[in-house]
Amino acid sequence: MQGAWLYILASKPRGTLYVGVTNDIARRLGEHRDGLNDFTSRYEIKSLVYCENHATMPLAIQREKNIKHWSRAWKLALIEDANPKWRDLSKDFRG
């Protein structure tokens, strides 16, 4: 699991979303689960519903910036195209 990751977390299907990047997705998901991010902790955003692996951090950061400027409808469509049941994908990244 090398490179950089763009990821989207949700509080529930079609709920509050959080878009982020990391170079260690398993560690970062653990931080969100443990409440170390104020925003995701406050809104109980813990379910990984979308992720992309990128070769470099600058590529992942650019993708994050692009997605953060998208409308909510576009973000929901991106998630639902890849994960129509809003399954929590975090179990795929636990060690």
Give the number of other Cβ atoms within 10 Å of residue 50's Cβ. Answer: 21
* Kind plus residue range of the DSSP H or E element containing 4: strand 4-10
61-87 residue pLDDT tens: 999 999 999 999 999 999 999 999 999
**pLDDT above 60: residue 95:** no
CA distance 64 to 41: 20
**pLDDT above 90: residue 2:** no
Domain that holds residue 17: 4-93
Domain with residue 48: its CATH number is 3.40.1440.10
Q: What is the pTM of this model?
A: 0.94
Phi and psi at 49, nearest 5°, equal -115, -10
Q: What is the pLDDT of residue 94?
A: 67
CA distance 60 to 3: 9
- The tally of domains found in the chain comes to 1
Q: What is the pLDDT of residue 56?
A: 96
Pairing type for strands 17-22 and 47-54 reads unpaired
**pLDDT above 70: residue 44:** yes
